[in-house]
Amino acid sequence: MPPGQRHEAIKAEELVAVAQAASFIGDTGYDSNKLRQAIEAKGMTAVIHAKPERKDPPPLDRQLYATRYLVERFFHHLKRFRGVATRYDKTARNYLAMVHLACARIWLDQGTRPTSAA
């Protein structure tokens, strides 16, 4: 895990090496030729928003890229738990336990949301 001030893209190649999926979805921070080549070498599709300075940006599957929002929304919900967001726990075991409890709470709350009458 990279330090908090570093972008997680520094570990992206390690992630791609063990990934087993049809697509690799990432934000603009993951846009590099080297990473795209590693993704394609694994037989995956790179769904990465191109950096604005790219002269000829690769095509982007916008519908698939939109699913990235679900992950971003989950982390937003997770960070609403103050103990998880600020990592009050001293040990990794206790912190992981808090993350599990927060995830369970988020999951349980999903079933209590009212549905719209259509």
pLDDT in tens, 102-111: 999 999 988 7
Residue type for position 47: V
pLDDT in tens, 74-85: 989 999 999 888
pLDDT in tens, 25-81: 988 888 989 999 999 999 999 999 999 999 999 999 999 999 988 888 898 999 999
82-98 b/e (C-beta count within 10 Å ≥ 16 → b): eebeeeeeeeeeeeeee
Phi, psi of 104, rounded to the nearest 5 degrees: -65, -40
